[in-house]
Amino acid sequence: MSLLIGVSCCVSVVVAQNVTIRAVNQPAATVFRSIVEQTGKNFVYSSELLKDVRVTVKAKNKPLNYVLSEMFSGTPIEYKIKGNNIVLKRRKKVVKTEKIKPPVVSVPVTKVYESSIKSTMLDEVVVVSRLEAPQVETAEIGAKKVTAEEVRNTPVLFGEADVIKALQTQPGVTEGTEGMAGMYVHGGNADENLYMLDNVPLYQVNHFAGLFSAFNTDIIRYIDFFKSSIPAKYDGRLSSFMDVRLQNGNREGHHGSARLGLTSGAFNISGPIGKKTTYLVGLRRSWFDVLTIPFVAIANSQNEDEKLRFNYYFMDFNVRVQHRFSPKATAFVSFYFGDDKLKTGTEDKGYDKPNYFGSFSDDRFDMHWGNILAQAGLNYRFNDNLSSEFTAAYTRFFSGMKHDYISRDKSSDHMDESHTVLKTDNNINDWIFRGDFDWSPNGNNRVRFGAGYTRHSFLPARTSRLYEVGTTHLSTRDSTWAYGANEVNAYIEDDWKISDKFRMNAGFHGSLFNIGGKTNLGWSPRLSLSYRLDEDWAVKFAYARTTQYVHQLSQSYLALPTDQWIPISEKLKPETADKISVGGYWESPDKTYAVSVEGYYKWMDNLVEYKDEYYLRPPLDLWNAQLCSGKGTAKGVDFKIEKVFGKVTGHISYSLAWADRTFADKNGGRTFPAKFDNRHTINIMVNWKISDKVQVNASWVGHSGNRFTLLNQVWDDPDFETTDWFGAGESPLRTGINSYKLPFYHRLDLSCTVKNKRGYWTFGLYNAYCHMNTVAVKRGTQDIAVSKPGEYYITSEPVFKRVKLLPVIPSISYTWLF
Amino acid sequence: MVILKKIYQLLALSLLTGCEEAFTPDMPHTPALCVNSLITAGEPVEAKISKSRLYTDSSEKSEVRDAEVRIYANGELQLDSYIPKEGDNIRIVAESPAVGRGEADVLIPASIPSPTATWETYDVSCWKSDNDVVLVEFKLKVDLRIEDADGENYYKFSFNSDFQADEELDDFDASGNYGFAIGSLLYDMEPIFREHIAIFESIMGGDAEGFSFFSDRQFEGKSYTLHLQFDNCWFRYPKGEIPDCNVNLIVSSVSPSYYNWANYIWQRDSGTLTELGDYGFGDPIWGYSNVSSGAGVVAAQSKSVCSIDLTDFIRETINETIK
């Protein structure tokens, strides 16, 4: 896919067929940008096609066809306008003159493009990304552009296409707990990945405890993913950066899709509003609340006195409106709201009757967590060499839990009444203002620079309790307060083509983070070097330092509202990571295959985690009293072989990795393996396009088992004088954290897409050969039959048990296109 | 809200958990010396020495017979006759040639001034059987006021009675079911007993039943009144002379290790972390220990007692009800 290049402008909205342009011996790609901005058309081509192609064109308010003909005359390139796209190909006569079998780059490009037309996914295939060129041509290591089509072609649990699960198939990325949309990149933690929606951070990126990610894949165009070479523009997380870009509104008419799946449904529509404006609306919502209605009704019909409440759903809502003021200026506003909501409880009123003594209780529990994002942006092109993007955004993460319990006990001469309210809130509010500039002073340099300011407001896990028992009133709240923080950052980088063989991307990202009267300085230099040994080979080196001021604390490997986002404080320093990477890259002469080998070593400092036995601290303790900081290292090698074109595409990757942690307040200060220290990981992804209507996708993953803290010894509990609550038993003896390696994990997922006139069916099979993988080891008992002369009995003996999750799970969905 | 916990378990078991398979992990295990001791001011020190064992080896005995135990108070080695007092800093050192060494330090906390109580009874009923046995049933509500000292302190509430039935009465009633009892304490009616329960645990059905440890984080250096309610209190005795019926309300100042141990037991048995760990969604929790070997708990306490005499209440109830 890396050969499939598109240039468009995400803010272009008007189909203007006349173009004004003046370019003399300019790189073709630079000229395209101007045309895209004026016409709203996208260019689709192979990067190889434009290698060293410079064009000269002068036109003032001329038809697009005229401009294109003028521009490509005398070049080996021909064009064809298909719908909203300008498809570039090598002229056929060039192909015929090749002595060897020519690189048939035009054929696969066309085929992919055509298939996309039929599924009305043009905008998703035609993408804008800074990762346009093949890996041998760029300076970056460990960067990947993932298209929406690749996301949809990755088989996943419940058939719910998922951005993060698609990235889990990349080398160096670990999924963590099976079935979850977690991402652990190069030995990092789950909170060390910066997820952005159209360039603005999102904190809450999961639904339903992490089974699904928060991105509606029906409306995304592509994802830029960086894990080793980090562009200077990005900082704030240690391990990876992922920018999800939404589709542009449709300029030709009102079109969209409606999808009905087992767990959720989605409706998306986009179209023009007048001549200069487009809109895009996307809504995804789960069905769980609808599905559980009959079960709750049945349960309540069985019990007249106790009524159960249960209601859970998640949803995402996206709106994006774009307006084009002029060929030089376009603007957009967008809004995202994603949340999970669980309302449940019981009401027991069996004895709440006149002249009847007994009890009444009403138990309510609410959980609500999610993210809101609002953004306004302006793209302005000063001239052909300098363009800019100005952004003002507000992003809010919220997580709240409330438990409200009322009980009344009536007796002959007395009534006890109690009311308990427990509440926990965790919020982040960010106001973001930034300007980004892209300057191409000449054909060999591309300078990106910018600056931004973010006003953070943190409320880390504030807990309050209210007890009313009879006439007693006890109200408490922990001493957590809201923290205001100011963050200023600036960056500059130059992508410099020093010679035909040598390329360098150098830059730095500087930041100041002020909180609690203390200012922290983050200095993150970046360097990527590339040397092309010949046309098909390249070697690279990269260094990146990253700084993180905000952390997520999780008590589990699920995405629960108990997870807390917290800032650094006077006790916690900013997390930092230094990473060096080296890589070797090869592409086959016909550009069909790409092979890469990337090695890395990463040092992480000031990592934040819960202390051992943190759960013994009471909930009203200040949030940072349960935390400790430490270090970590990660190293490894990622191999990848990718087939880019043809009826069968896909990749095979292998990762060899190590990751460990050292905390003074964990594991007795001894170094221990990270939870997802998977030594060997193999990913195989195959996409077979059987015909224009049918495509089959298969994904196989195998990796060394996750690390686990196996407590294999026990000691006798003390028989202290106790109340009736204690019972003498045994307690597990602490052992080294993550000292046990679970069995090798492997799984095959399949999916099949069948298109018809109105849309397409998607059939999925998660864990196709039903190999249930071990995710934990628990202590349990096993019944043993004892047979002796004259007696037979069943006894139980203690055993360790492997806990296995997720058998084969089929899925089906239908997407209607209109 | 136990229903939520059941829903959670149902989801985990039926939707996610495919199966469990017994196996023997290949993992080395070296026994650790376990030292358990609860030191009470004014009472001799006892320590139980044992060793850890492989969880699956139920036949393996945990007894350790060759251990040598030394007790130090404020840095000085003590003899068997040593009686600890409040403020003593005690170190217990145990060594076994076969198993190894374990040691722990604990400070005996100062007891609080004697609590003061006000009380009332309600839902009182009284019957007399054909054989002149009187039964009084009632509920008891007590407000117990304690004074907290400065600093971080931990407490445990407990109760008992000094009631002694006449031994000859066993011949009078074959059931032998005479006596006086303070029934069940309604733990959930006192908020401080729920202090350790986080909201997620509360939602998942965790309650304070049986848990009467608490800290002074919410009333440090001040007084606090425990609201205690006892259901199912009863007195059953032949009509006639009534023995003394009292209730001892005991507020023990406990060491942090004692509080942590109790809290761990609650988290293990009623918290959510154990289940998260069992299904691979979280890290398993191990037994809390303040012993260097990682096995055992050395705790300390000092008791303060407030006694309530219910004899007159019972006598008056009988006299008023049964003429």
Digit-coded pLDDT (tens) for A437-469: 999 998 899 999 999 999 999 888 777 878 777
pLDDT of res. A723: 46
pLDDT of res. A95: 41
- Among chain A residues, CA nearest to B280: A776
Q: Which residues of A touch B262 (CB under 8 A)?
A: 726
Asked whether residue B6 is domain-assigned, the answer is no
Digit-coded pLDDT (tens) for B201-252: 887 777 888 889 999 988 888 999 998 989 889 988 887 778 888 999 999 9
Which domain covers residue B137, as residue numbers?
Answer: 116-254+304-321
Nearest CA of chain A to the CA of B192: how many Å?
A: 9
Beta-carbon separation of B53 and A714 below 8 A: yes
ipTM of the complex model:
0.90
Residue A243, pLDDT above cutoff 70: yes
Secondary structure (H, E, C), chain B: CHHHHHHHHHHHHHHHEEEEEEECCCCCCCCCEEEEEEEECCCCCCCEEEECEECCCCCCCCECCCCEEEEEECCEECCCCCCCCCCCEEEEEEEECCCEEEEEEEECCCCCCCCEEEEEEEEEEEEECCCCEEEEEEEEEEEEEEECCCCCCEEEEEEECCCCCCHHHHHCCCCCCCEEECCEECHHHCHHHHCCCCHHHHHCCCCCCCCCEEECCCCCCCEEEEEEEEEEEEEEEECCCCCCCEEEEEEEEECHHHHHHHHHHHHHHHCCHHHHHHCCCCCCCCCCCCCCCCCCCEEEEEEEEEEEECHHHHHHHHHHHCC
Nearest CA of chain A to the CA of B36: how many Å?
A: 6
Q: Which residues of B touch A771 (CB under 8 A)?
A: none
Range from A265-274, A342-351, B3-12, B218-227 carrying the lowest mean pLDDT = B3-12
| Closest among A286, A255, A251 to A272, alpha carbons compared | A251
Residue B173, pLDDT above cutoff 90: no
Q: Where is pLDDT greater, at A658 or A413?
A: A658
Asked whether residue B94 is domain-assigned, the answer is no
Beta-carbon separation of A713 and B29 below 8 A: yes
Range from A108-112, A190-194, A693-697 carrying the lowest mean pLDDT = A108-112
Compute the average pLDDT of residues B263-288.
Answer: 86
pLDDT of res. B169: 60
Range from A740-749, B31-40, B81-90, B131-140 carrying the lowest mean pLDDT = B131-140
Q: Where is pLDDT greater, at A14 or A590?
A: A590
- pLDDT band for A729, please (50, 70, 90 cuts): confident
Compute the average pLDDT of residues A482-508.
Answer: 94
Asked whether residue B2 is domain-assigned, the answer is no
Residue A98, pLDDT above cutoff 50: no
Beta-carbon separation of B123 and A780 below 8 A: no
Asked whether residue B205 is domain-assigned, the answer is yes
> Percentage of chain A with pLDDT > 90?
47
> Percentage of chain B with pLDDT > 90?
49
Average pLDDT, chain A: 84
Asked whether residue B230 is domain-assigned, the answer is yes
Beta-carbon separation of A715 and B32 below 8 A: yes
Beta-carbon separation of B279 and A615 below 8 A: no
Asked whether residue B202 is domain-assigned, the answer is yes
- Among chain A residues, CA nearest to B125: A412
SS3 content of chain B, % helix, strand, coil (to 5): 20, 40, 40
Beta-carbon separation of B190 and A469 below 8 A: yes
Q: Where is pLDDT greater, at A95 or A466?
A: A466
pLDDT of res. B61: 77
- pLDDT band for B279, please (50, 70, 90 cuts): confident
Q: Which residues of A touch B160 (CB under 8 A)?
A: none
Running DSSP on this structure, what letter comes out for residue B120?
E
Asked whether residue B86 is domain-assigned, the answer is no
Size of interface A-B (CB pairs under 8 A): 264
Compute the average pLDDT of residues A780-794.
Answer: 85
pLDDT of res. A15: 36
Q: Quote the Cα angle for A327-A332-A334, to 5°.
A: 165
Domain count, chain B: 1
pLDDT of res. A566: 85
Q: How far apart are CA A662 and CA A93, in angstroms?
A: 63
Beta-carbon separation of B278 and A803 below 8 A: yes
Beta-carbon separation of B18 and A363 below 8 A: no
Range from A108-112, B84-88, B200-204 carrying the lowest mean pLDDT = A108-112
Asked whether residue B268 is domain-assigned, the answer is no
Beta-carbon separation of B276 and A556 below 8 A: yes
User: Mind listing the domains of chain A with CATH numbers?
Assistant: 1-128 (3.55.50.30), 255-706+742-817 (2.40.170.20)
CB-based contact A729:A714 (threshold 8 Å): no
Nearest CA of chain B to the CA of A463: how many Å?
A: 9
Digit-coded pLDDT (tens) for A503-559: 999 999 999 999 988 999 999 999 999 999 988 999 999 999 999 999 988 888 887
Q: Which residues of B touch A344 (CB under 8 A)?
A: 4, 7
Coil, helix or strand at residue B14: helix
Residue B148, pLDDT above cutoff 80: yes
pLDDT of res. A516: 84
